[in-house]
Amino acid sequence: MNYVDDGYVVDDLIVMAREAEGEPISVQWIPRKSYESTIFSKRVRKSIAINQDWLPKHLASHGVDESIITEMRTDISLTPSHQIWVKAYLKDNRGKEYEAYVSY
């Protein structure tokens, strides 16, 4: 999710995270969810749709069988110190959970 319709998607997500005041903004990748009528901007919705379509090809290019992933999402939130945290979350078919964090 980077540059769509003459703007950076991350800029829209940062504004949303600040307005949410600590509540996470989540994008559910697996299972796939529709974001057509949500609080996300048109730019973010378009980016999500593009990346949802691309995800199976991306996983396959890394030798990952999509059927072993039961849940995959990205959470964006504002910390009490006003940093933006991004959490990538994945759960496999054995119930094992994986998390990775990035601060922005």
Total number of residues shown for the chain = 104
Phi, psi of 21 (to 5 degrees): 50, 50
Per residue in 63-72, pLDDT tens?
A: 999 999 999 9
- List the structure tokens of 34: 């529709």
Q: For residues 36 and 45, is the Cβ–Cβ distance under 8 A?
A: yes
Q: What is the pTM of this model?
A: 0.87
- Residues 83-91, mean pLDDT to the nearest whole number: 95
pLDDT band at 1 (very low <50, low <70, confident <90, very high): low
- List the structure tokens of 15: 């504004």
